[in-house]
């Protein structure tokens, strides 16, 4: 029986683990993918207090090391369901079951696809969701990026150092990323920004050869030659396994109060997986702090009631 089990090892989950461990509680962190979460895909973080610039991998490695040093336990497992029990929770995974007195869901979110025909077939053959992972495969070639937020602009800057040309398509009339990142992109001679267009078709048979884009407010269409398409249009939550015990909104995000509490006592949610307006590393860490402290208060209350 673990005191607090945390589902997900991104900034929210790892921050929660640090606080729980410092309170001398036993902590188990379950992760189905890479330890560190989506932040590991970020080539450069420049908006986290105390670090002028740090890579996502460095940031994640430091957090994981801190949790290990404090005595946290990790396991690679995909959670398939949660069950409320008399003593707490039974956490079902693809490998085994875990018992915990309290659970913090910090499962994050995965990259959102375009939803176009053949997108899945071309994944790895021209379509990618991570410039850090796949950018080197397109050195000295033409590529395109879909999206206009910080993630898309960061991907663009990374690709601009490797590729012959980077074309950025955004469906809104203006790009929504930070002005500093946008200005850096504008200063690149091999970057072209095209707002107000959507990707309508992926071209090429066995591998991507280009994309067809269409204007949002007119019938204008263009074909852009590119060997790679990097999709950075946001994230979607992964909360299907928790829906029986925690309410989700229309977009699939977990519904909590300001204290990261779900409707089930002892079950908390932190980070990108929960319903919130701002999703940044700083807000994920803040969620992890709040969820851990609330989980500790819940454990104290259950001990007092016993």
With contact defined as beta carbons under 8 Å apart, do 155 and 145 qualify? Answer: yes
CA distances from 104 to 135, 245, 297 (A): 34, 12, 13
Angle ∠(279,171,56) on CA atoms, nearest 5: 35
Catalytic one of 95, 97, 121, 133 = 133
Give the H or E element holding residue 293.
helix 281-305
Catalytic one of 130, 260, 273, 285 = 130
Tell which phi-psi region holds residue 132, choosing left (phi > 0), alpha (psi between -120 and 50) or beta: alpha
Whether residue 121 lies in the annotated active site: no
| Residue whose pair of structure tokens reads 């591998």 in the numeric block | 207
Whether residue 285 lies in the annotated active site: no
C-alpha to C-alpha distance for 16 and 287, rounded to whole angstroms: 8
C-alpha to C-alpha distance for 62 and 66, rounded to whole angstroms: 6
Whether residue 272 lies in the annotated active site: no
The catalytic site residues sit at 130, 133-134
């Amino acid at each position: 029986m673990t005191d607090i089990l945390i589902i997900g090892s991104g900034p929210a989950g790892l921050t929660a683990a640090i606080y729980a461990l410092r309170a001398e509680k036993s902590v188990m962190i379950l992760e189905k993918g890479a330890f560190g979460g989506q932040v590991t895909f970020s080539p450069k973080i420049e908006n986290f207090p105390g670090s002028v610039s740090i890579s996502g991998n460095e940031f994640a490695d430091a957090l994981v090391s801190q949790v290990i040093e404090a005595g946290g336990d990790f396991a690679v497992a995909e959670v398939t369901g949660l069950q409320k029990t008399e003593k707490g929770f039974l956490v079902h995974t693809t490998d085994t079951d875990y018992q915990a007195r309290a659970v913090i869901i910090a499962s994050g979110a995965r990259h959102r696809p375009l939803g176009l025909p053949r997108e899945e077939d071309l994944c790895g053959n021209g379509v990618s969701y991570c410039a850090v992972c796949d950018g080197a495969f397109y050195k000295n070639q033409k590529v395109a990026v879909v999206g206009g937020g910080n993630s898309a602009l960061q991907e663009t800057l990374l690709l601009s150092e490797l590729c012959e040309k980077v074309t950025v398509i955004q469906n809104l009339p203006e790009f929504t990323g930070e002005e500093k990142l946008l200005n850096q992109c504008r200063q690149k001679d091999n970057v072209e920004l095209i707002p107000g267009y959507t990707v309508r078709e992926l071209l090429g048979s066995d591998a991507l050869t280009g994309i067809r884009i269409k204007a949002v407010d007119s019938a204008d269409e263009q074909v852009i030659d590119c060997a790679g398409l990097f999709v950075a249009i946001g994230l979607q939550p992964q909360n299907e396994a928790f829906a029986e015990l925690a309410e989700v909104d229309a977009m699939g995000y977990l519904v909590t109060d300001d204290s990261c509490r779900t409707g089930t006592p002892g079950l908390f949610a932190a980070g990108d997986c929960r319903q919130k307006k701002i999703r940044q590393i700083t807000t994920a860490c803040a969620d992890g702090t709040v969820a851990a402290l609330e989980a500790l208060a819940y454990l104290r209350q259950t001990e007092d009631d016993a």
